[in-house]
Structure 1
Amino acid sequence: MQTAPTNATPTPRGINLALARAKADIPAMASLLDAFGPLFACRAELRAKASGWRGRKPLVDPERFSQGVFILADRGFQDMSSRLPAAAQTLLPVMSASFPAMAREFSALGEALASGAVPARKVADAAFGGKVQVPGVSAEALAFAAAELVRPFIERQAVSLLPLVKDLPWNQAHCPVCGGAPNMSVLRKSGDDDTFIKSHGGRRFLRCSCCATEWTHKRVSCPACGCEEPDELVVLSAPERPFERVDACKRCKSFVLCLDGGELVDVPDPDVAALTMLPLELHARKEGFVPMALHPWSNF
């Protein structure tokens, strides 16, 4: 397994540059980019300040790992709930400005966290699908906000843990750190020549929908079912943006977005790139394909 290069970790500056380029290239998506862009940048700032994994790291059994048992299979992420009230003071106002229709609900969530009316632990549970009720906050708004609040901390923990397995084989489609499914793939330049590289585009990295870890995966294959039959694999793209596409599979009807960075001078931030591919995602859904995992905007 090869993990993504260090520069794959988003920074506020890189995100803002990618947003500016995307708005110039695709004016029709400016409003959506303006909504999610500040959220991406704020999340990156929180991640940069987070401490990552604390204390003794999990022990990795190389044999179990090679069989597909990811690092956190037996324990999950460390509890970050004590940090959520402070993170909410930073992130929720940004989300309120970006999504005014939910501003009142985000404000109610922030007040509940600050006062202790709703324990931060329950908000963390909501981020992972737990059934939690917060007065004045819909289930949809709570799930969205909770997921964004915990994301910087679990992404930072994943960065701390990934070196534990950087030299171990991993041929799975789920994340080697947390077991999450990919919602994005990126083809990155490489001078190597092995089974992962099929043409000029370089290595294919799958990107975890939960913790943003990136890991190599066979390029000409369906990550969901492993199909490698050319007649069963479908590529959907638009001629004006050939470096953006959907990799879909007729056999299992799943798809994953793909950014081909092999020929790009500057590979954009993956979140910004995925957002600009929303029209392709919608097209794939209309064709009857289902995403392997969702993005924050997928249900908007």
Structure 2
Amino acid sequence: MHGGEQMTEEGRRILNDARRFAGQAPALETLFSAFGPVLAAQAEIREQAPEWRGATPEPDLARFGQGVWLLADSGFQNPGPALSGAAATLLPVMERAFSALAEELTILRRSLADGSMQPDALFALAFEAKVQPPAGVSEDVLGFAAAQIARPFVERQARDLAERIKGLSWLRGSCPICGGAPNYSQLVRVRDESDFIQAHGGQRWMRCATCSTQWRCKRVFCPACGVEEPDQLFHLHVAERPFERVDVCRSCKTYCLCLDTGELVDVPEPDMAALAMLPLEVLAREQGYAPLAGHAWNAVL
């Protein structure tokens, strides 16, 4: 793993969590060794990414209250020239991390460097536009790379936009910024016993798979179908790690990872925490449940 020198605090934290979890779960060491440096590099890119350009969108309170997310009429901004630098930084890290994809990623990097492929196309591809891959690169690898290169810019913009909706009520299962589905959640203990969302186990916070925005959600509630009946909602966990679980909905057959942070001294970085719960994901899928949204490693496995 990268040593983490000259990194931001967030990048070092990701690498430290990756090492710690790899020691706890030797079977996942290869994945932590691969994704730790990639996520740390993304954190560095995000730190330098351009802010939202121009006036930030103002939420229409009436529409927002009806479930219309902030960027429903626009979308994220293409970061332009910064994409080239991000690709030049991230693709070599990905080549080292994913040996099976290294040849295709190298072709993509060279195509971007010589101008035969434009970086703007990667950003469009990250949002499901159709783009012709360079010769020797599969559509799957191109899509995976595009998503990883675009992600730090989307997350940086989402942080700016989160200020526009701070304090507004949003109790839905999709992201209030971009409408994306969550792929991870946390339970956070609070002291205000009068809060109806808290219930006995703390506040429930969802995390968007697209832009990493976190928002507070009802505790007993399926983010996918909205069902609230307790007999339709349950969770899977293993006795050795009771703070990690998969929240499952019998009604729509979906699941979302959940970390109960109430008793944790050190709360891990969300992506590292989610990767550590991969065995629980496998268990949920074996029982016929599908994720609300995937993680980067789902595209590689």
Identify the residue that residue 132 of structure 1 maps to in structure 2: 131
Identify the residue that residue 6 of structure 1 maps to in structure 2: none
Aligned: 1:197 with 2:198: yes
Q: Per-residue displacement from partner, 1:243-299 (whole Å, max 9, x unpaired)?
A: 110000111111101011111011101000100111111110110111111111113
Contact 1:70 / 1:178 at 8 angstroms: preserved in 2? yes
% same residue: 50
Contact 2:59 / 2:70 at 8 angstroms: preserved in 1? yes
The 3-state SS of whatever aligns with 2:107 is: helix
The 3-state SS of whatever aligns with 1:104 is: helix
Identify the residue that residue 265 of structure 1 maps to in structure 2: 265
Contact 2:50 / 2:79 at 8 angstroms: preserved in 1? no
Structure 1 length-normalised TM: 0.94
Identify the residue that residue 153 of structure 2 maps to in structure 1: 153
Two-structure CA RMSD over aligned residues (Å): 1.4
Contact 1:85 / 1:110 at 8 angstroms: preserved in 2? no
Identify the residue that residue 163 of structure 1 maps to in structure 2: 163
| Gap runs ≥5 in structure 2 | 1-8
Aligned counterparts of 2:188 and 2:221: Cα–Cα separation in 1: 17
What amino acid is the match of 1:138? S
The 3-state SS of whatever aligns with 2:196 is: coil
What amino acid is the match of 2:199? K
Contact 2:49 / 2:82 at 8 angstroms: preserved in 1? no
What's the offset of the Cα at 1:103?
A: 0.9
- List aligned pairs for 1:63-142, cutoff 5 A: 63-133=62-132, 134-142=134-142
Aligned counterparts of 1:232 and 1:79: Cα–Cα separation in 2: 41
Q: Per-residue displacement from partner, 1:150-199 (whole Å, max 9, x unpaired)?
A: 00000000000001011111111110111100011111232223122112
Aligned: 1:16 with 2:15: yes
Identify the residue that residue 279 of structure 1 maps to in structure 2: 279
Aligned counterparts of 2:184 and 2:130: Cα–Cα separation in 1: 27
Aligned counterparts of 2:197 and 2:283: Cα–Cα separation in 1: 28
Aligned: 1:34 with 2:9: no
Aligned counterparts of 1:274 and 1:56: Cα–Cα separation in 2: 34
Aligned counterparts of 1:64 and 1:118: Cα–Cα separation in 2: 39
The 3-state SS of whatever aligns with 1:85 is: helix
What amino acid is the match of 1:164? R
What's the offset of the Cα at 1:212?
A: 0.2
| Gap runs ≥5 in structure 1 | 1-9
Aligned counterparts of 2:172 and 2:218: Cα–Cα separation in 1: 10
Aligned counterparts of 1:237 and 1:81: Cα–Cα separation in 2: 43
Contact 1:235 / 1:246 at 8 angstroms: preserved in 2? yes
Contact 1:52 / 1:159 at 8 angstroms: preserved in 2? no
The runs of 4+ residues in structure 1 deviating greater than 3 Å are none
The 3-state SS of whatever aligns with 1:48 is: helix
Structure 2 length-normalised TM: 0.94
